[in-house]
Every structure is written in structure tokens, then in C-alpha cells.
Chain A
């Protein structure tokens, strides 16, 4: 198949198991972690969680007493190897679901979700070749799962997939996972570049503008056959970056996008 996602032999065996119906499950909030002023991570315990692949998401459904329902998708932040499932949610002040998940939900509460979902925006360390990750705002979440997954892999497979991450956020305070990224970025085969689209601190050494062609040209791997790109965040950013990468010569089938919609940034 030409879509680029090809299973390795071991994984094929695992996947050969009969697919099951996707059920709504009630996950329990084990703990919460503030990531920034606007984002927090929910650490969840999900009964009979079947495991996930880096890049997948869950659907969260909220039902009010009077039957009113809202449903949204949230990417999985944790590595497939992690015993708990983690979601990171950025609060949109005028949003319907994200303020609930960021402010109302507390440890011990249940939250209904189904997943893991989506086989298209998925990366596994067995897919050797240079990896380019581009995130805008909360678009870092599924890419973090990929980075965490990669960091847990054997040295040899890591060496086959050097990674570059370009992460765009409004201000330095809006960078999610900042300290963990700093740690991950100190590895020789990981290069992380940041760009802030609004104010930057006086000692800021990263970029300080919206992603444009020269910026992306400086950070992205030169186009080559084996390079894969995953681009995630607000829809306008994702579309601009994906179009530029294809113009740079990236194989369109290897530029995978996950548009988050109008996420306010």
C-alpha cells in the first residue's frame, strides 16, 4: 500500500487480532497537571484500554443532566508505552468543552471517551527515516506522544529516525511541556526550534514570528524520499506548513496533517 504506513512483521501479528467495536468507556481522572496558564494534562485510568499508537486521538463525550451533549476529539499525549493515558487540553475561554476539561474536572471524576482512534496520523519508531514535526499551540500534543515513544525506543532504532521539531506558540509561557522538551532536545539526534508569534522575552534566542517560508526552509529537513512530516495545530497553520513542505519537494503522502480547527491561536 502506498500510504506509507507499513506494518513491521511483529506488529502485523498483533494487529491481526480481530478488530473490536469501538466502545464508549468511562475513564477516571487519576491526577491533573498544569502545563501552562491555559493548558492542563489529565492523567486517566481507562478500563480495558487496548493500547494506542503515537499520534492517535480519543473522542470525549460530555452529557449534561438534561441530555445536552457535546463531543470533541483530543490527541493522546502519553507514549504507547505509558501505563496511564494522558490528554493535554488547552483552554479556549469561549469554548464549550475545553474549559470544562481544564477547570471543572477533578481527580476522581469520570469522563466518557472512546479510542484509540485514527490510523492515518500515526508514527512508529520502526518507520525509519528523518522525522519532521511541526506544531502550533496545542498541536504539540500528538507530536509529544511520538517524541516520548521515540525516546523510549532502543538506541539503534532511534538512530535511524533523527527528528526535528518546530514548535510555534503565542508566548514563551504558552509552550507546553517546555522542560521535558528541553531535556529531549539535548539529545544529539533531536533538534527543537521554537517560534513565538507574539511577545518574546528579552533573552529569547528562538524565532519570533509566524512560520513563513524562510523559517520553515531553515528548520525542515531537505526533501528526501524517506522523510516523513507530521503537522498539527490550528487549521490555517497546518495548511500553510503542509503546502510549503510539498512545494519543498516532500512526498504529499508523507506529509501527514492533523487540523485542530479554529483553536483560537
Chain B
């Protein structure tokens, strides 16, 4: 297992349950993984008055019809039993007055079906998963940073990782490898993602010859704090919060008359950006107003949100509205996989935010991503163990470790060169300014040129820290390389896709074009260059129609 977030640990537990010898490799200790930050909740049709079909429809519509319906069906059907399984493991969800698991409304959903633990859902789930990991005796290699997936003659052989504590490179020989390394938020300047969300697994997969799918679809969350990018959960609007512009108007009434603040995220983010660009913002933000919810509700159901607003924006939501703006939040794209976590390379599997199944299509609904981690994490664990039980171990190529040592040594030896931080800043600015909420041909082309240039500079960058003991800078160098590759895939996909769908909005092509573009983008890396290809979308129950909220 590469990655010890929710998806990785869930997969590891499933594989361990089937009797396999499992190890999990993570660049940070499991409970530090960014799943811990998820606030709002997790979707499942738990009640008799709700149904998996309704959940499926909301998800398909939310995805702007780009989600694969066969996979979405699997997720929505299995959601309730996976939630109950979590409870069995020890998770505690908030309860309603009748003692059932409580559910709150979320954006883009026609039914209040988001289960939660106050506003600390991810934290509650991740710690339970960690507990189960210990219970099942999974071996943990923590603070080991994976830098290569080893593939030979078309099948997985294991991986190479650097142990932070000693700087040593190790080979981990295995029959199968599951990649669950999370999102790439740090490609952008303003992001809700952790400092460790650098999309490593996607970069590693490209190098191993796998395709990244639908990378141009990048979710911008409507309510993040301006300077730090820290998230104010959608649950805040789910509990009844308003969005106001500088005139004090609830502007969402204009953009989504029916559901207002609870339209899907792409819609709300674009509305906010429009308000701000047309001069009705407040210092580049709009206002999230929770005051009418009352102190008691804020303190009981949104206590973390309150603490974050006070600590990071200096505002107490009980007494003042919180300035928020759209910011990068989620990666809909990822390593192309099927609904069992398989990739095009036998023995390589993937799940969670690093994967693209695709259940989110062009726009993810809040609460569906935690769900994705546990449903498809479990399924990938099952597939990998079936694969292991039916496959003989193949040798680990002799040269792989030597080659990896050689390339790390080359980086450490380079005496002169630019600092990686300048390059990283260049990338953040380019992606934020040229590949954000509103895109067009010119902006994207500028961004693309810039990333190309940064990739050249990256090859010649040098480190200040040459030691091999807890060398953070070396890891940041490796992460930056992956992020530059990912940026290029996002830009290429966005330049090519001449339509607007879900989170991908082209001011020069403002309409969805199903005839030409109801298809997935695939990006491959070949000899250092990128190539695009396309794949059909699975449409089973719901024919594409116009999306209105």
C-alpha cells in the first residue's frame, strides 16, 4: 500500500482480512494524512424515504454527466453497508433525536443524506481506520517517501522508497501495489489541501506508463479563507448559512433560484467569482454569514469551523460574517482505473483521490469523496488480494535500486542552480492565474508556456541541503517534479476541451457539447512528453440533460 489516508488504510485492512501479508508505506504517519481534515460528512442513502437511485441521480447530475454510471451505481448501492461497517469498526456518527445516524443537507443533493461527526467527520473516520490498521497488524513504514513504482515486462514488482530518518533508499518487493496518495492541491496557490497533498502517486503512475484521466476537472470550493486557503465546510451552508455580497444581498438567489447556497460547488464558486469580478466583493471575498444560526448551533455543530475562523481569519462567526472566496479543493481527475481499482498494468491498483474511477466526472458533490475512499478502497483491497493469490511472485529487477540511488545522488551533488521554491511559486502563480475558475484559450496557452519553462528550470535546480538525514528539501524537490507533470496534464486537457462542463468553464466555449465532448480525457507521458487520448463515458440509467439548480 502506498498512502495511509482513508483509501489506503481501508484497502490495507481489506487485504489483511483476506489473510495477506500487507505493509503500508506513507510519507507521513497514518493519522497525519489529509483525510483527517475532512469536515462536513459522507453521503449514503440510509433512510427508507431516500434511495440509492436518488443518490445516483444527484451524483450523475452533479458530475455534469461525465461520471461513469456503472461505477456511480456501485458506490451509491454499497454506501449504506460501508457506513455501517465503519460503525462496526468503532466510528461514532452524530445522532438525530430518534437515535438514528443524523444526516444533513449538502450542496447538489436532493435529500439530506450526509452523515457526519459534528464538523470533524474525516478526523473521526481516519482515526478509526488507523485503529483497525493496528488491530489487523499491518506493518507501517512511516516517513518513507515512495519515489518509484517498479514495473517490468508489463507487471508490477514493487517500489522504491526513501527512508526519511536515514536517507537510505529501500526496495520493497511485492506482488501488487495499491496507490492511494491523495490529491495534488499544492499545485495551486490557494488550496484547502495540506502541505503534503502534492499528488505524488499520479506523477509516479505517469512515469510507470499509466494514464491520468480527466485532469482538467479541478474543483474550486466556494468557501475558503482568503490568505490561508483553510476550508469552511459546506456543512456551514448545509446548516443554513448565507452567502452575501458587499450590498448585503443573498446573491445566490440570482444564480440558483431554487436551492440558492446549496447549488453544486462549481455553480456557487462561479457565482462568487462573478460577484467579486463585477465589483460586489469585500476585499476580494464574499461573506459567509452564520449569525442567524445562533451561538448554540454554531458551537455544537460547527465548533471546529468557529475555531478555525477565529484562529485564522480573526473573526468569530457567532458575531460577524466570515470573508471567504473560492479556492482549489479537490482533484476530480487521477489515475485511470475501473470500479475494482485495477489499472492498465497488472498488479498496480489505485483508490481514493489519486484515482479516477470516475464517480465525480466534471464536478464532485460534497460528501461523495469520503464515500469513494471507503467503497473503492475496500474494493481495491479485494482486487489486489485476489490478484496476489492467483499470481506467482516475479523477480525485482536488479538495476532498479541502483538507478534510483544514482538519480538521487545526482540531485544531491548538483552544486549550482536555482532554488526550488522560486520554481514552485512560479507554478502556483501560473496555475492560479491561468488555469482557475474562468478559463480561455489565451490564458491556458500562457499557463502552458510558463509550466514548460518551469520544467526546464527544474531540471537544473539545486538543493542547499545536501545531507541524507531528514532532508526535507530533497522530498520537496521530488514532489515539485510530480506537480509540474500534473500541471502540464491539467493544462493540456483544459486547452483541448473546447466546451464548458462542470468545474471546467471556458469563457470562449460557454456551453456543454455532448456530441463532441461527452468523453474522458486520458494523458500519457512518453519520453518526457505528454500525449492525450479519449475514452467513452458509461451511460446506463440517466441520459444527459441540461443541468439546472
Q: Do A and B come from one complex?
A: no
B residues near A (Cβ < 8 Å) are none
Q: Which A positions have Cβ atoms within 8 angstroms of B?
A: none
